[in-house]
A = this chain, B = another copy of it.
Amino acid sequence: VIAGIGDDCSVLRLSPRDEILVTTDFTLEGVHVRREWHPAGVVGHRCLARGLSDVAAMGGEPVAAFLSLAVPEKLPQLWVEGFFRGLLRLAGKFNVELAGGDIAHSLAGILADIVVVGSIPRGRAILRSGARPGDRIYVTGHLGGSAAALAELFAHPRRRLDPALYPRHFHPLPRIAAGRVLRQRRIASALIDLSDGLSTDLSHLCEESGRGAEAVGAEITETAIPRARIGKSSRLVSIEQALHGGEDYELLFTSSKPAPSKLAGVKVTEIGRITRGKGMVLLTSSGARRQLRPAGWEHFRP
């Protein structure tokens, strides 16, 4: 970052061998977060995590963030300070500079729009569109932890959850390092982050991979899906939460060869194969073949 806040534009300089990645994501009160459930710092953290995860999903390196924040006139200044603290703490972890943005009053509710600019060596971005029939399908980490926390919040709206017991919901860590290894070692044929839920994001990956090429689908083995554990009792989340729950910010990738069992210290699990022709199939624990429909994110909304 050559020039940041205080001029008409921010000026960034990348290596001449790099391409630029740009991603933009809304975080909306009442949709992604609720003030009574999510402390200000958590909202700031999750807001930036969304953008960083998109950069991880290309195998890229985040460089700078730009925040546009609209808040109701009556919102306490303390809330805004807490929001920035949470956002800047996460930015610091990934050496990302908050290089600009805009602040305004909204008529109702908090709206944060995060822009993350990243870099990637020319031609090396890992797209969603490279999956081919026969490729293995992998995910990082454990799934469903964020949606399961949200389900508890909906079930007991007045209960406060301890963020430390539900880290994937309150403080998701974008898989920047794992994405970097996938790029450097040319492991992944296609890559996406799990923001909308496995079933939905996998359908996106298949759709993009089939665009202008032979249509592809996927076959997923239910018992292989790494389910998250949540809460004090380390309860395993349901298979539905792991299949469809959004906002885990893990990575989903395909590879024509066996992938390592860990990437930058993060567990990697093979969960299925890319198939010829459209459609997703779930091999259930009872051995049945069931059609798998994209049912992420929207499913879990109020």
- Please determine whether B111 and A106 come into contact, CB atoms closer than 8 angstroms: yes
Identical chains bound together, number? 2
**Best-buried of A26, A58, A99, A211 by chain B (most CB within 10 Å):** A26
Q: Indicate the size class of the contact surface on chain A.
A: 35 or more
- A162 / chain B contacts, CB cutoff of 8 Å: none
Q: Specify the chain B residue showing the minimal Cβ separation from A20.
A: B12
Least CB separation from A120: chain B residue: B11
CB distance from A5 to the nearest CB of B (A): 11
Verify B6–A128 contact, CB threshold 8 A.
yes
One digit per residue, 1 when the CB lies within 8 angstroms of any chain B CB and 0 when it does not, for chain A 98-109 equals 011110111111
**Chain B residues within an 8 Å CB radius of A247:** none
Find A111's partner among B11, B20, B111 (CB 8 Å cutoff): B111
CB pair A102–B8 under 8 Å, yes or no, is no
- Is A24 an interface residue when CB atoms closer than 8 A count as contact? yes
**Does A87 make an interface contact (CB < 8 A)?**
no
Bound CA–CA A211/B4 (angstroms) = 14
Is A2's beta carbon under 8 Å from chain B? yes
Q: Which of B7, B9, B11, B26 contacts A102 (CB 8 A)?
A: B26
Contact A9 B128 (CB under 8 A): no
| Residue A151, interface by CB 8 Å | no
Of the candidates B19, B64, B99, B108, the one whose C-beta lies within 8 Å of that of A13 is: B19
